Structure 1
Amino acid sequence: MFWKKYRYEIYGVLFIAAAGTLLHFVYEWSGSTVIVGLFAPVNESVWEHIKLLFFPGLLFSVWDYFHASRRPASFLPARTAGFTAGMAAIPLLFYAYTALLGTNHLALDIMVFLLGILLAFLISALLEKKISDTTTTLSGTKTRVLPFLSAVLLIIYLLLFFLFTFRPPQLPLFRDPVSGHFGIS
């Protein structure tokens, strides 16, 4: 029962873990190709590592939407909320553990990434049914406000990733701890 009900979420966790891990190295493998840098981390900043969840997650969600049978209208809002939480968890968990330990550790960095993925799918799965049950109706038809706002938010995320690859704010979240640079260099 569990497998049948949550198999796409399990596929998603596995896909994003694998694709995100590979994506970490793609910019360097491409010879620092600018177009690749839009989708893959261009440095070791925490912000750039959020791309490891967002882009594979977006790709998987598009596949999931079209391949899973009977996706409700709550799919996009739930998935967007889940991925927002997962992406927020990455810097929060990273800065929390590095504040406690005084330094970062690769094994813990990987665990933070995996926890972000798990949180994204957990929240998405929990909210998909909840949103579907509580969506308000207008004149007897379900409103499309939440899916629309979710799509707008995803587009904003996409644009921010693109913009901040080239022109990141001069904040610690965007600073490469190895080189001290910001964005693509």
Structure 2
Amino acid sequence: MGSKNEPAFILSSVTDISTVEKHLASLRDLLQHCINDEPDTSSLGFLAPLTDHTADSYWLELTSTVTGPDATTTLLIATPPGSDKVVATVQLARMPKETHTFKGEIRKLMVHPDYRRHGLGKWMMDEVERIAREEFALEMLLLDTSKETPAREFYLKTGWTEWGICPNYAKSSSGVKHDCCFFVKDLV
């Protein structure tokens, strides 16, 4: 993502609680920006205004799924070189059912507003897809997003196939029900 000598961002996989604790303030800030700045187009599962307590609780509770030998979620974070500020995240959730182990779900791709429109979201998605394919031998990825969010166009442009729309599926962060688009991507 950066020059040949220095990357624009450092991508890390969160594997322990100390990493979450180290980055908790910037993880909270990122989540709050993604919820509170544009609540009409945010579809991340939280109502605005998102409090510090709720944001911190989300990240701390998530650690139980990303740490240890029974981890079912991979959490990737992007930071600028020389900084601990998390500017983007994405999650890969693996399916525990034996008949579903070939697929995963992409959750909560978030890019800080100050870092959008520079390819960071695409880079994060490319990396999480690579990890799904190479580290977990997944064959299919799924995700969903609001029909009214700019994320829908992003996924359509990056090779995802929209396979359905469910009316009034969820609420935006402003509390208004919206249609949800479902996407799939084959990795084989």
Range of TM-score over shorter length = under 0.3
The structure, 1 or 2, with the larger RCO (C-alpha pairs under 8 Å, 6+ apart) is 1
Structure with more strand by fraction: 2
Q: Which has more radius of gyration? A: 1
TM-score, length-scaled by structure 2: 0.26
Structure with more helix by fraction: 1
TM-score, length-scaled by structure 1: 0.26
